[in-house]
A and B are shown apart, each in its own frame.
Chain A
Amino acid sequence: MKAAGGEVPRHIGPYTVIACLDDEHGALYGPPPPVPERRFFARGSDGDTVLVCVPHPGVDPGRFAAEAGMSRYLLGTWTAPATWLAPPGEAPWHARAYEPALPLPMALAVLGGPLSEPTVRVLGAALADTLSVVHGQGLAHAGISPASVLLTAEGPRLTCFGAVRAAGPDGEPRYGLPGLETGSLAPEQAAGGHPRQPGDIHALGATLAYAATGHTVPERGEIPPVLRDVLTACLARDPAARPGTARLLEAFGSAAPDMPGTPGLSAAPGASTAPGTPEVPGPGWLPGRLVAALARQSAVLLAADIPVPDTVPSPPSPAPPVPPPSPAPSVPPPSSVPPGTAAPSHD
C-alpha cells in the first residue's frame, strides 16, 4: 500500500499534490490507525497551499461529498469545516487552507509515546466542547477517531466529519469498512445503526484513550488514573450509559485544576472563562517536540516549489490524470521530509 490508501494522485481537482499528510510509518504500536479519508498537502494554481481530502477507493462518492458539504456548516472553535468542494458531478474532494498540523497518531510517533495526562485532558476538554457545539446544532459528528484529530500549535482540529455515514449506509454492518477504526466505532454503529450523538462520545473516549496510551482499546490499568473513570464510561457498550458532553467538560476540567505545567495559556475566543471551566488549548499547549515537528512541516511546505500546470486537468473521467508539463515537480527529497509530509511517489 502506498502512503495510506493507494497510489498518490498528482492532481486532485484544481490542486497539484505536494505530499501526503498521513504516512504508513507513523504508528507507535503496530500498524497505524486507519484514516477515514486520504489527505494531501497540495497547491492551487495561485500558489496557495491547501489540505485536500478524497475518499478511499470503494467509498461511495456521493456519500462522501454529502458529508463534506454538510461540514461547511459546523460551528465551534476546533472543528474543521471544508472550505472548497468539488463541483457537483465531478470526482469528490474537499479542501481547506493549509495550517501546520499533525494527526494524533503521528504526534505519538514523534514523541515516541503517548501524550502526557494534562495534555490529554486539555485535548479532551477542547473536543468535548466541540462536540457540545456540534450536538447543539443537532448533528452527530460520526467521524471521530485518532486519525481524525489533528494537532496544531493553537489547538486541535476535529476533522473527518461524517466518516461513519460516508463509509456505509445504515442497516448494513460497518465492521472493517475502509477508513473506520475499530476501537473508535461505537458498537451500535458497527452493527449498522444510524450514527447518533452517544456514538460520538464512544469515539471520543476511544480517541482520548489512544492519546493517553497508544491504544483505542486499552487495558483499564493503562489509562492515567484521573481519566480512568470518565474514559471507561465513554466506552460503555450501552449508548445510554455514556456521559454527556457537559459531564465530560466537568471531568476534564476538574481532574487536576492546579496541576503545575498544565498546558493551555489562553482562553479560546468566545469561550467562557468562568472559574471551574476546563482549560482549553492555546499557544504553548503542545510539547516542544511536536512544536518542532509542526515548524518543520511548515518550513518544508514553505520551501516546496511545485510547478503548476497552466490549464488545470479536470478529473471527472476515469482516464488517468494528465501529467503536468515538464519540468517534473520538485518535491523535497524524502530524507528531509518531516512527519506529516510523507512524500508521494510520482512515478
Chain B
Amino acid sequence: MLTSLLHDDPQGFGAYRLLARMGSGGMGTVYLARSRGGRTVALKTMHARIAADPDFRTRFRLEVDAARVIGGQYGAQVVDADVAAPTPWFAAEYVLGPPLGAAVELAGPLPEVTVRAVGAGLCGALGQLHRSDVVHRDLKPSNIMVTAHGPKVIDFGIARALGDDRLTRAGAAAGTPAFMSPEQASGQEHTPEGDVFALAGVLVFAATGRGPFGDGQPADLLYRVRYAEPDLTGVPHALVPVLARCLDKDLSARPTTQELMLQLHDGAGEFVDHLPRALLAEIGRCAGGVWQAPPPRLPAPPRADSEPEPEAAHPAHPARGLSRRRLLAIGGGSALAVAGGAGAWAYSAARDEPAPYKKPPPGPSVSASGGKHDWRWQSQIVKGYGDKSPAHPFRAGGLVVIRSGVGFQGIGIRDGKARWSTEDFESDQDVASDGDRLYRLVDLDAEKDRGPKAMRFPLTIAPVDLHDGSRKKALAQLGTFNGVLPFNQLVCAANGVLYLVAGQGEKSRERFERGDTWSLLAVEAKTGKKRWTSPLPARTGGERLYVLAAQVAGDRLVLFQQTADGKVSIVAHDTGSGRALWNKPFPGPAPDPVDVMGRMRTDGDHLYVGGSALRALRLSDGKEAWSTAPKRAGGVFGPPSAAVDGAVYAVEKGQGLCAVDAGDGKRKWREKGAGEGEAAKAAVADPPVIAKEHAYVRGPSGLRAVALSSRKTVRTYKTTGDRFVADEESGVIIGVGDRFVAAFDLL
C-alpha cells in the first residue's frame, strides 16, 4: 500500500523525488520515488541515526552489494545508490507483484505447479547468489516477491559474503526462526546449504500456508528447527521426498540448488502459466496500481493544543502496512496481509477497481473549450488497498469526511477544498458522526506485531479535530474492553451518546475467538461515562461485523445486526437502559449484508425496509405495521427513504421511483414514464435521496432529479457516483464514486 509522505519526509534523495511511502520499519523507510525523467523506483533508506553506527552502515552497504549481485532477473535491479550519505539510500526497480506471504494469504495454499515453478525460480536466484559467494541467510515468504516473470528475492539486510566477519554486532541476531536452518539456529556459520533449507521451508509454506516447524515463540521454534522433524502434512505427495531431503538436519544430505531445480520443474511453459488466477489478478493490479496518483503529503501535526496521551495510544508515526481491519467490513472472503517487520520491503500495490471517471485537471486546454460540468465541485479520493466496502461519506461540521487511501479526507462541503487527510483512521466502522462532531476509535493495529503489550490496550474513543483531522484528547478509555480487537465498532453517535461494539479478550487472530465476550455499550460523549452495556450473542469464529447499520430514533437504538453466518436481524434497544426490546429477522428473503450496510431509514415511529416488498416495522415492538407484499407480489424494492411528508419513497425494480403512504403502505404514485427508459433502469440498490421537493435517483445516465409534485424527471446530473447524501443546508447533494466525491447543486 502506498501511503502519504509525512510532513517531515525529505523532498527526495539524489535525482529522485519522493512520491509516497511504501513502508517503514525500525531501520529505515522505503519510498516510491521518481526521477525527473520519470523513472519510478523503490527507494530504500536507513535512518541517519542508525547509519551513524559504522556496523549498520556497513550492513547497508553489503545489502546494496548483494542486491546488485542478484540483479534484475532474480531480484530488484539496483539503479542508483549513495551509501555514504548521512541517510544512506539505494534505488531499485519497483517490483510488480505481491510477496509470497501475501500471495498465499490471498490465493490460499498454492497449487503444486505454482510451488514447483516458484521453487525453481528461487533455485535460480540462490544459485546466482551462491556463485558469487553470497549467502542470503534470511529467505522467507515476505522476502520473495512473486511477479509474472518469476519470483524475485529482495531484502538482503543480513546477506553476507561467505566467511565475511566484518559484521559483528549488527548481523549477529539475524534470521527468521521459522525458516532458519538448524546450523544457523545453533549459532554456526550459515552456508549455501542453509539457504536450501530455508528455501524448502518457504515452499512448504507456499504449499500449505504454514512453515515446516509451525509457529510460536522464537525459542520454541529454534528448538524445533534444531531437533524436531519437519511437518510436511498437506504438502503434495510428489514434493514430500524432495523437500524432506532439503530439510535434512545434516547439511551434506541436502541437494544443491542446481539439483533441486531439476527435481522441481522441467522448465516447460512460461512462469505465468503456472500461477492461479487470484495471483494473476493481484499481479495485474500491481502493474496498474503503481500508476495511480499517489496520496498527498500529510500536513504537519498540530502543536499547542494537543495534550499528553498515553504513549502507546499515540504511535509517533503510524506508518503502517496494510490495515487488516479494512478487510473485515462484511466478513468472509479472502484476506490479504502484508509482510511486515523492520527492514522488510513493504508490499506495495494499489488495489483499485477500474476508473469510470478521470478528474480533468485544471489547465487552459480543458477550461478553454467552455464545457460546463454538472458539479459544483469535485475532489479526488483514493480507493484503499483491499477495501471491501464502498466508502461511506460522513458529514460533520461543514465537512464531508470520507475514506481515501489508508486514511480519511476532510473536504469542505461548500467549496470542495480538501482540508486535511490522515493516514491513521482505520475504516468506516471506527468512525461516527452526529452531524456536528466526528468521533473515532483509537486503534493500535499499527503496532500489532510489536510485542505482547500491543495485544491489549484499553478501548479508547476520541473526538476528531475537524480543522486538521488530528485526534483530540481521548474522551474515554475503557480498560475492561480490549481496544486492539479488530471487531470493535463505533456504530453511531446521537444526542450526545456514542454507541459501540466492544470486546473483551485477547487478540490472537484476526477472527472471533471462543471465549471472547462482546457487548454493545453506550458512552456519554461529553463525560466519557459509560451509560450501559448490553451483551451481544457469543461468537466462536468467523469475521463478520456485529453491526451493519444503526440509528437512534426517539428512545430506540435500532441495529441491523449480523449473525456469525451472515444473516441479518433487526434489534432495538432502549437508549436509556440498554435493554434489548425486540429482535426480529430481517423480513422477507435474507438480504445481502452489503446491501443493508449503512442503509437504515427510520422516523419517529417506523423503520422502513425494502426487499420483496416495502415494509414498515413499528419501532415500539418490531411488528409489521404494513407491507406492500399482498397486493404487489413479485416486486423488488430497493431500500426506501425515511418518511417525508407522509410518504416513503423507493425504487421498484424495472419500474422506477414510487411513493407509498407512510401510514398504510398504499401506493401513492409512480414516476412519469415508470417502467420505461431511464425510470426502468433506476438503480434498485440505492435509497432515493429526498431533498427540497425532489427525489434523487441513480440510473445509467447519471443522477436524476424527480420533482415530487409533477413526478417528472426535471434534471439529470452527469455522474458515475453511486452513493449520495443530501446536505440541504449547503444546498448540495454529495455523490461518491470509487475515485471521487462531487457536490451537485440541489434544485
Chain A residues engaging chain B, CB cutoff 8 angstroms: 43, 47-49, 69, 72-73, 75-79, 81, 83-88, 96-100, 132-133, 136-137, 152-155, 265-266, 268-270, 272-274, 281-284, 286, 288-289, 291-292, 294-299, 302-308
B287 touches A100 (CB 8 A): yes
| A160 to B573 Cα, complex, angstroms | 58
**Most interface-central of B290, B291, B737 (chain A CB within 10 A):** B291
- In the A-B complex, the 9 residue pairs with the closest CB atoms: A153-B284, A284-B281, A283-B281, A292-B148, A47-B38, A305-B39, A305-B37, A298-B287, A154-B354
Question: Whole-angstrom distance from the CB of A269 to the nearest CB of chain B?
Answer: 5
In the complex, per-residue mask of B681-692: 1 if CB is within 8 Å of any chain A CB, else 0: 001110000000
Q: In the complex, which of the residues A81, A133, A269 contacts B738, with contact meaning CB atoms closer than 8 Å?
A: A269
A269 touches B356 (CB 8 A): yes
Nearest chain B residue, comparing its CB with the CB of A132:
B700
**Most interface-central of A266, A270, A305 (chain B CB within 10 A):** A270
B718 touches A75 (CB 8 A): yes
Can you list 27 A-B contacts with CB-CB less than 8 angstroms, sorted by A residue number? A47-B34, A73-B718, A75-B356, A83-B361, A88-B369, A97-B293, A100-B287, A133-B701, A136-B678, A136-B700, A137-B718, A152-B354, A153-B287, A269-B354, A269-B720, A269-B738, A281-B354, A284-B277, A284-B284, A291-B148, A292-B148, A292-B271, A299-B96, A302-B93, A303-B93, A304-B39, A308-B37
| In the complex, chain A residues whose CB is within 8 Å of the CB of B371 | 69, 72-73
Question: Whole-angstrom distance from the CB of B259 to the nearest CB of chain A?
Answer: 28
Q: Is the interface of A mostly helix, strand, loop or mixed?
A: loop
A269 touches B288 (CB 8 A): no
| In the complex, chain A residues whose CB is within 8 Å of the CB of B360 | 72, 83
- Asked if B238 is at the interface (CB within 8 A of a chain A CB), the reply is no
- Asked if B365 is at the interface (CB within 8 A of a chain A CB), the reply is yes
| In the complex, chain A residues whose CB is within 8 Å of the CB of B283 | 291, 295
Q: How many inter-chain residue pairs (CB < 8 Å) link A and B?
A: 192
Nearest chain A residue, comparing its CB with the CB of B359:
A83
| A296 to B277 Cα, complex, angstroms | 18
Q: In the complex, which of the residues A154, A155, A270 contacts B722, with contact meaning CB atoms closer than 8 Å?
A: A270
| In the complex, chain B residues whose CB is within 8 Å of the CB of A304 | 37-39
Nearest chain A residue, comparing its CB with the CB of B37:
A305
Question: Whole-angstrom distance from the CB of A91 to the nearest CB of chain B?
Answer: 13
B361 touches A295 (CB 8 A): no
Given contacts A302-B41, A303-B40, 10 further A-B contacts (CB under 8 A): A43-B37, A75-B356, A85-B365, A270-B737, A282-B281, A286-B284, A295-B147, A299-B96, A304-B39, A305-B39
A272 touches B368 (CB 8 A): no
Question: Whole-angstrom distance from the CB of B251 to the nearest CB of chain A?
Answer: 36
Question: Whole-angstrom distance from the CB of B144 to the nearest CB of chain A?
Answer: 17
| In the complex, chain A residues whose CB is within 8 Å of the CB of B721 | 270
Interface range, B side: 35 or more
In the complex, per-residue mask of B272-290: 1 if CB is within 8 Å of any chain A CB, else 0: 1101011011111111101
- Asked if B451 is at the interface (CB within 8 A of a chain A CB), the reply is no
A288 touches B281 (CB 8 A): no
- Asked if B300 is at the interface (CB within 8 A of a chain A CB), the reply is no
Q: In the complex, which of the residues A133, A154, A299 contacts B93, with contact meaning CB atoms closer than 8 Å?
A: A299
Question: Whole-angstrom distance from the CB of A241 to the nearest CB of chain B?
Answer: 23
> Which B residues, 714 to 747, have Cβ-Cβ distances below 8 Å to chain A?
718, 720-722, 737-738
With A47-B17, A72-B371, A269-B737 known as contacts, the answer to whether A305 contacts B38 (CB < 8 A) is yes
Q: In the complex, which of the residues B93, B278, B358, B361 contacts A284, with contact meaning CB atoms closer than 8 Å?
A: B278
Nearest chain A residue, comparing its CB with the CB of B685:
A272
| In the complex, chain A residues whose CB is within 8 Å of the CB of B678 | 136
> Which B residues, 7 to 57, have Cβ-Cβ distances below 8 Å to chain A?
17, 34-41
B149 touches A292 (CB 8 A): yes
A76 touches B356 (CB 8 A): yes
Q: In the complex, which of the residues B77, B277, B354, B361 contacts A78, with contact meaning CB atoms closer than 8 Å?
A: B354
| In the complex, chain A residues whose CB is within 8 Å of the CB of B148 | 288, 291-292, 295-296
| In the complex, chain B residues whose CB is within 8 Å of the CB of A297 | 287
| In the complex, chain A residues whose CB is within 8 Å of the CB of B738 | 269
- Asked if B366 is at the interface (CB within 8 A of a chain A CB), the reply is yes
| A155 to B366 Cα, complex, angstroms | 27
| A154 to B278 Cα, complex, angstroms | 13
B280 touches A298 (CB 8 A): no
B366 touches A153 (CB 8 A): no
- Asked if B513 is at the interface (CB within 8 A of a chain A CB), the reply is no
| In the complex, chain A residues whose CB is within 8 Å of the CB of B700 | 132-133, 136
Q: In the complex, which of the residues A75, A78, A268 contacts B701, with contact meaning CB atoms closer than 8 Å?
A: A75
A69 touches B369 (CB 8 A): yes
| A94 to B87 Cα, complex, angstroms | 42
B281 touches A153 (CB 8 A): yes
Q: In the complex, which of the residues A69, A137, A284 contacts B280, with contact meaning CB atoms closer than 8 Å?
A: A284
A302 touches B285 (CB 8 A): no
With A85-B365, A283-B282, A284-B278 known as contacts, the answer to whether A77 contacts B720 (CB < 8 A) is yes
Nearest chain B residue, comparing its CB with the CB of A101:
B288
| In the complex, chain A residues whose CB is within 8 Å of the CB of B351 | 283
| In the complex, chain B residues whose CB is within 8 Å of the CB of A99 | 288, 291
| A298 to B698 Cα, complex, angstroms | 36
> Which B residues, 315 to 357, have Cβ-Cβ distances below 8 Å to chain A?
351-354, 356
Question: Whole-angstrom distance from the CB of B41 to the nearest CB of chain A?
Answer: 8
A77 touches B356 (CB 8 A): yes
| A75 to B358 Cα, complex, angstroms | 10
Q: In the complex, which of the residues B38, B97, B270, B366 contacts A72, with contact meaning CB atoms closer than 8 Å?
A: B366
Question: Whole-angstrom distance from the CB of A61 to the nearest CB of chain B?
Answer: 15
| In the complex, chain A residues whose CB is within 8 Å of the CB of B720 | 75-77, 269-270
Nearest chain B residue, comparing its CB with the CB of A153:
B284
| A73 to B701 Cα, complex, angstroms | 12
Q: In the complex, which of the residues A49, A72, A86 contacts B291, with contact meaning CB atoms closer than 8 Å?
A: A49
Question: Whole-angstrom distance from the CB of B266 to the nearest CB of chain A?
Answer: 18
| A136 to B60 Cα, complex, angstroms | 59
> Which B residues, 222 to 259, have Cβ-Cβ distances below 8 Å to chain A?
none
| A281 to B353 Cα, complex, angstroms | 10
Q: In the complex, which of the residues A84, A273, A294, A306 contacts B363, with contact meaning CB atoms closer than 8 Å?
A: A84
With A85-B365, A154-B288, A288-B275 known as contacts, the answer to whether A295 contacts B96 (CB < 8 A) is yes
| A132 to B280 Cα, complex, angstroms | 30
A302 touches B290 (CB 8 A): yes
Q: In the complex, which of the residues B34, B38, B358 contacts A97, with contact meaning CB atoms closer than 8 Å?
A: B358
Q: In the complex, which of the residues B97, B287, B683, B737 contacts A294, with contact meaning CB atoms closer than 8 Å?
A: B287
- Asked if B622 is at the interface (CB within 8 A of a chain A CB), the reply is no
Nearest chain B residue, comparing its CB with the CB of A133:
B700
- Asked if B653 is at the interface (CB within 8 A of a chain A CB), the reply is yes
B40 touches A84 (CB 8 A): no
Q: In the complex, which of the residues B37, B291, B352 contacts A298, with contact meaning CB atoms closer than 8 Å?
A: B291
- Asked if B394 is at the interface (CB within 8 A of a chain A CB), the reply is no
With A99-B288, A153-B287, A291-B283 known as contacts, the answer to whether A43 contacts B718 (CB < 8 A) is no
- Asked if B675 is at the interface (CB within 8 A of a chain A CB), the reply is no
| In the complex, chain A residues whose CB is within 8 Å of the CB of B40 | 302-303
A292 touches B272 (CB 8 A): yes
B354 touches A268 (CB 8 A): yes
| In the complex, chain A residues whose CB is within 8 Å of the CB of B358 | 81, 83, 96-97
Question: Whole-angstrom distance from the CB of B538 to the nearest CB of chain A?
Answer: 33
Nearest chain A residue, comparing its CB with the CB of B738:
A269
With A137-B701, A283-B284, A302-B94 known as contacts, the answer to whether A288 contacts B39 (CB < 8 A) is no
- Asked if B452 is at the interface (CB within 8 A of a chain A CB), the reply is no
| A292 to B284 Cα, complex, angstroms | 8
Question: Whole-angstrom distance from the CB of B360 to the nearest CB of chain A?
Answer: 6
Question: Whole-angstrom distance from the CB of B335 to the nearest CB of chain A?
Answer: 15
B17 touches A272 (CB 8 A): no
| A49 to B147 Cα, complex, angstroms | 22
| A19 to B491 Cα, complex, angstroms | 52
B684 touches A86 (CB 8 A): no
| In the complex, chain B residues whose CB is within 8 Å of the CB of A294 | 284, 287-288
Nearest chain A residue, comparing its CB with the CB of B718:
A75
| A295 to B364 Cα, complex, angstroms | 34
| In the complex, chain A residues whose CB is within 8 Å of the CB of B361 | 83-84
> Which B residues, 260 to 311, have Cβ-Cβ distances below 8 Å to chain A?
270-273, 275, 277-278, 280-288, 290-291, 293
